[in-house]
Amino acid sequence: MATQTEQATSPPRTSGWRGLFLRLHFYAGVLVGPFVLIAALTGVLYAATPQMESWIYSDQLQAPVGLKQASLADQVKAAQAANPGGELAAVRPGAEPGDTTRVLFNEEGLGESERRAIFVDPATAQVRGDLVAYGSSGALPFRTVLDQLHRNLLLGEPGRLYSELAASWLWVVALGGLVLWVSRRRARRTEKAEKAAKTESARGKSVRRHGTIGLWVLLGAVFLSATGLTWSAYAGENVSALRESLGWATPALKVTGSGEHAGHTGHAGHGDAPAAPAPARPESVDAVLASARAAGIDAASVEIGLPAKPGAPWQVTEVERSWPTQVDAVAVDGTTGQILGEVRFADYPLMAKLARWGIDAHMGVLFGWPNQLALLLLGAGLVTLVVLGYRMWWRRRPTRATGLTFGRPIPRGQWRKAPPALVAGLVLLAAAIGWFVPLFGISLLVFLVVDLLLGLRSRAKADSTDVTV
């Protein structure tokens, strides 16, 4: 007969498919928990950065509201004078009165997706600051650091493996937890289980609390996992390829109109070679923006992109990511003001719209502060789940053990108790998911190999003990 200590430290007996799910959930939680914990903490910090960024860089982002406003061309000239070595790339006029204009430059020595931002007072055309902006969101240094901390732990490309591993397993742990919660609820309906609930142990209460919190954050966890994978290095490539093959990709802005700079017109004379196209003139920025506004680019926040090469059209893009989403874009002939192409968010495929909304909600910008608050609560829930999970594992350790001792895992061989059809189905499903989400497949194989080796070592120790006795 088992002693009270053995009953307290031994893992619960399970049978059938539940034991298989319990062992998978246990190992996934223990081994991937640290990655999920770091991703949740850094994600919560990043979600709060818009307000912090506005406060930290208030001198650069804000200027006194003036009665008059300098032309964008004059503001660009002031920025060029302050940064003569940079290659002018784009202009972002202030979205509201009191906002400064960002004039963006490409420079050698900056990182990928980084541009030099010169902040100009729209009323006086005076330069108010010089910072590095990152990505299409225009993140400034503080927010960029937190973004990279969340994305790759400031380790560069190799560090992205941590966040992809967390995203690859988070949905598996969440859905596995749901299966276990449902099965536990069914078991508690029996009279025997109800009697046992009256004398529920401290660990049992932790299990129940863990399951309840997991149920509350379930949808959010699956959402973060799915949207996080779209940014990942390996699974992200497969997601992009799938969207492309199904026609779900985000439409690109293409030049479809005609005009002097849309084709190869403008010869110097009959029989002569075409005249070299003239480079874009920054003085045209006001006229280009006016043409885009007339064409329906009405968002407060826009980016006016200069042509990447002489003769190419300008590109004016809405960059308002909050609801309702405004990301329309038009191509504008810098000489004539003619609209040479356009792409409208209303014409996006449904999956492209969902991807846009999902990414913006993941970043906490889609619904403003309610979106940020939801991410804060979700992150806190994930952190609590991880901590409770490790606490339950710790409580399952042998009470008389000395030194560093961990709780006992769910016994091996659970797959033998499960229905063969279920095991076969799970193997096929894991193989398919592992192919599409490579880090999930690789890490799952590593887990299984390590578990097999540990099992062989335990068996060898048991055999040697029997021989000695």
* pLDDT at residue 271, as a whole number: 46
pLDDT band at 206 (very low <50, low <70, confident <90, very high): confident
3-state secondary structure of 315: strand
Q: Which of 442, 435, 436, 430 is nearest to 239 (CA)?
A: 436
Number of other CB atoms surrounding residue 187 within 10 Å:
12
Query: Greater confidence, 398 or 37?
Result: 37
140-189, pLDDT tens digit by residue?
Answer: 999 999 999 999 999 988 999 999 999 999 999 999 888 888 877 776 66
CA 256 – CA 262 distance, rounded (Å): 8
Q: In this prediction, what percent of the chain has a pLDDT beyond 70?
A: 82
Q: What is the mean pLDDT of the chain?
A: 84
pLDDT band at 277 (very low <50, low <70, confident <90, very high): low
380 pLDDT exceeds 90? Answer: yes
pLDDT band at 317 (very low <50, low <70, confident <90, very high): very high
To which residue do tokens 């059809």 refer? Answer: 421
Q: Please state the pTM of the whole predicted model.
A: 0.83
* pLDDT at residue 420, as a whole number: 83
Burial class of 159 by CB neighbour count within 10 A (0 to 12, 13 to 18, 19+): middle
358 pLDDT exceeds 60? Answer: yes
Q: What is the DSSP letter of 458?
A: H
CA 136 – CA 92 distance, rounded (Å): 11
In this structure, which amino acid lies at residue 70? A
395 pLDDT exceeds 80? Answer: no
**What angle is formed at CA 178 by the lines to CA 176 and CA 183, rounded to 5 degrees?**
100
Strand order in the sheet with 302-305: 127-134, 114-120, 101-106, 87-92, 302-305, 314-318, 329-332, 339-343
To which residue do tokens 């002693």 refer? Answer: 3
* pLDDT at residue 434, as a whole number: 93
Helix axes 160-187, 202-231, angle to 10 degrees: 140
